[in-house]
Structure 1
């Protein structure tokens, strides 16, 4: 999946959420499908905020202000390709950081 496709799919989710009578089940399905597709494309660079957005549909359904803030950030990325955490985070990069941190913690604990 390329960045343009990622951005188009985020726009589809935003459009669903911005309807007058939001179908939150449909939103959660779209978020789950996109999240699964991102996991199946480990080389896809994806901003950290996208992962939060996809995981937080249930929170946005309950907290309108939180949802509004997330939609503003995701809309900016979807429309322009820019976001506050402009450094894309790949799945492999996160895994490498987690392994290093766990190793350091284990070393500290055993010493």
Structure 2
């Protein structure tokens, strides 16, 4: 019997999607360091240069019938940049993300 080594799923992936003449970049991750890198990049590329800062946000949760409901996926969007953070499987929730979500200028 041959045992095949299982290759673990990558902790981060970047996808490029073309839809209706637009190009979107989607970063899917469960690494706090990748979330921090994404936040710094979109601040530098988009948010710091504009007086009105707008970020799309969506959050998916575990089954509401379970006792300990918690966030599973956090999605952020700025212009054509998108982040899908698998927060329930993450190594940690970075302080930079917490600060970003509490930023009153956004």
Short-chain TM bin: 0.3 to 0.5
Query: Which structure has more strand as a fraction of its residues?
Result: 2
Query: Which structure has more helix as a fraction of its residues?
Result: 1
Normalised by the length of structure 1, the TM-score is: 0.35
